[in-house]
Amino acid sequence: MTFGMYTGWLFIATVVNVAAFLTQIGWNGFGLSEEWWTIAVLIVAVVLAGWVLTRVKNAVFTLPIAWGYWGIYQALQGKDVSQGVEWTALIGIIPLVALAAYAFYRYRFAVMPAKSR
């Protein structure tokens, strides 16, 4: 369980650090607005998290990512930014928690699947 939580946290921290780096160097986003790039990154991160979950097979993996999305949503509330990013972060929590619940159910209510004999 600990490794799943840590790996999930590293995943979302890496996404945020890459976005911060691109902002710092003044990347223009190929002409797309910051809002659209943020929404795209949030969506791609959910898809990648689902793919990584199939590889690491740890039902807890996506939960810290969902927590990170909650933090993004909370940080944007009341700010003068478009609500599209807020809603994308909030809605992104749903598939992340659903993936964790599905993996937990699939592994017969264990964090990881039992080893075959």
List, for residues 64-85, the tens digit of each pLDDT value. Answer: 999 999 999 999 988 877 789 9
User: Running DSSP on this structure, what letter comes out for residue 111?
Assistant: S
List, for residues 16-61, the tens digit of each pLDDT value. Answer: 899 899 989 988 888 888 889 999 999 999 999 999 999 989 999 9
Distance CA(20)–CA(12), nearest Å, equals 12
Does 117 have pLDDT greater than 60? no
HEC readout, 37-102? HHHHHHHHHHHHHHHHHHHHCCCCCHHHHHHHHHHHHHHHCCCCCCHHHHHHHHHHHHHHHHHHHH
Q: Is the pTM of this model over 0.75?
A: yes
Q: For the chain, what are the domain ranges? A: 2-106
Count Cα atoms within 13 angstroms, Cβ side, for 72: 26
